[in-house]
Amino acid sequence: MPTSSSNIAFLFPGQGSQAVGMGKELAEKYPAARATFDEADEALGYKLSQLCFEGPEEQLRLTEITQPAILTASVAAFRVLAEKGLRPGFVAGHSLGEYSAHVAAGTLNFGDAVRTVRNRGKYMQEAVPVGVGAMAAILGMDLERVTGVCNDAAQGEVCEPANINSAEQIVISGHKSAVERAAKLASERGAKRAVLLQVSAPFHCSLMKPAQDRLAADLSVLTLQKPAVPVACNVDATLLDNADRSRDALVQQVTGAVKWEQSIRLLIAQGVQTFVEVGPGKVLCGLMRQIDRSKTALNVGDEASLVRVVEQMAV
């Protein structure tokens, strides 16, 4: 490979990247991918593979199904890449994707991870009654100004930056009325756009504290290993290299903001030149273009993209 693994990072997508058919091609062609879906089916006690490959879409969109589905499709793609000899020097995952990153790094056993994210999705959904919370994407406004908008719009309610995706895109989360006020205020103060998102719950804000507490109990009984490669974590954009800090980061990210831009800049500072999005969709490749267009951003989600990446990284 022209690129040594130390300057390659694998990135794993989060909720919103799901699509009916994800992982199907890889599972049909590669035993390692098929075995990953079989393992997930067994761990969960239902045919997650069938929902991924055939839908229906409305079921795949249910948070407690979406989360293990994306994790499984991502790990399946990762395992095929590993069989091809492609291994990263660093890993990172966006929100839910941090679990995929920890499976890739060997911190978390895959079966444990699948069961944990199913519960994570369930706990998040149950933390706030439907209709009480909301999220909105604020485009073209920096973090300091978005934070100011959230503070001014809160009026005693929760309204907080939730995903710092790039300098161009920050997602806010909290009580529906506060988020709506913030979106209006952001537009008035010069944001390019402020768009309310179609989400089932207000993720990554303090309203998720009940989910965080329940998840902490689940994670406390799992055995985590020292990551084999450094994991850039969402909650404080630092590199994790031990089991206890990894566990704490997974707990804290339920209510904490996803510091994605800062995590990517941290990896760039470590010398990463090539970023490979492993799993369904190309959301993280899109954000990469907003963060640093000079870096190579590739994705692996199906047979064609896998072949392309393997060829590109072959000698």
Residues 6+ apart with CB under 8 A from 69: 18, 22, 48, 51, 52, 60
Banded model confidence at residue 46, pLDDT cuts 50, 70, 90? very high
pTM: 0.96
Residues 6+ apart with CB under 8 A from 246: 102, 107, 224, 227, 231, 233, 240
Whether residue 315 has pLDDT greater than 90: no
Whether residue 246 has pLDDT greater than 90: yes
Q: What is the pLDDT of residues 231-242, one digit of tens each?
A: 999 999 999 999
Q: For residue 213, give the nearest of 175, 243, 251, 250 by alpha carbon.
A: 251
Domains, the chain, with CATH or none: 5-127+207-313 (3.40.366.10), 133-199 (3.30.70.250)
Beta-carbon count within 10 A of 244 CB: 10
Q: Calculate mean pLDDT across residues 16-30.
A: 96
Q: Calculate mean pLDDT across residues 5-9.
A: 91
Whether residue 6 has pLDDT greater than 90: no
Check 204, 246, 263, 305 and give the catalytic one.
204
Whole-number pLDDT of residue 232: 98
What sections of 189-302 are H helices per DSSP?
209-220, 243-252, 260-269, 283-291
Residues 6+ apart with CB under 8 A from 147: 161
Q: What is the pLDDT of residues 217-232, one digit of tens each?
A: 999 999 999 999 999 9
Q: What is the pLDDT of residues 269-291, one digit of tens each?
A: 999 999 999 999 999 999 999 99
Whole-number pLDDT of residue 2: 38
Q: What is the DSSP letter of 258?
A: B
Q: Looking at this protein, which amino acid is placed at residue 214?
A: R
Q: What is the pLDDT of residues 200-214, one digit of tens each?
A: 899 999 999 999 999
Whole-number pLDDT of residue 99: 98
Q: Calculate mean pLDDT across residues 251-267.
A: 98
Query: Residue 175 catalytic?
Result: no
Q: CA end-to-end span of the chain, whole Å?
A: 5
Residues 6+ apart with CB under 8 A from 175: 132, 133, 134, 157, 158, 159, 202, 207
Check 49, 95, 263, 305 and give the catalytic one.
95
Q: What is the pLDDT of residues 133-163, one digit of tens each?
A: 999 999 999 999 999 999 999 999 999 999 9
Whether residue 314 has pLDDT greater than 90: no
Average pLDDT, the chain: 95
Whole-number pLDDT of residue 3: 43
CA dihedral 147, 152, 154, 156 (to 10 degrees): 130
Whole-number pLDDT of residue 1: 37
- Joined together, the tokens standing for residue 42 give 């067994």
Q: Residue 10 in contact with residue 97, Cβ under 8 Å?
A: no
Whether residue 70 has pLDDT greater than 60: yes
Q: What is the pLDDT of residues 71-86, one digit of tens each?
A: 999 999 999 999 999 9
Whether residue 115 has pLDDT greater than 60: yes
Query: Residue 206 catalytic?
Result: no
